[in-house]
Copies of this chain bind each other. A is one copy, B any other.
Amino acid sequence: MVRTTRQRTAVAAVFDQLEGFHSAQEVHARLRAEGDTVGLSTVYRAVQALADDGELDSIRTDTGEALYRRCSTRHHHHLVCRSCGRTVEVEGPAVERWADRVADEHGFADVSHTLEIFGTCAACRDAAAPAG
By a beta-carbon cutoff of 8 Å, the part of chain A in contact with chain B is: 60, 62, 64-66, 79, 81-82, 88, 90, 92, 94-95, 98-99, 102-103, 106-122, 125
Contacts and interface: CB of A to CB of B under 8 A. Distances in A.
Contacts of A92: 98, 102
A107 B122 contact: yes
A106 B125 contact: no
Contacts of A81: 108
24 contacts: A60-B60, A64-B64, A64-B65, A64-B66, A79-B102, A81-B108, A90-B102, A90-B106, A92-B102, A94-B98, A95-B95, A95-B98, A99-B115, A99-B117, A102-B117, A103-B117, A106-B121, A108-B117, A109-B119, A111-B117, A113-B116, A113-B117, A114-B115, A114-B116
Q: Which of A114, A117, A118, A121 has the most CB of B within 10 A?
A: A117
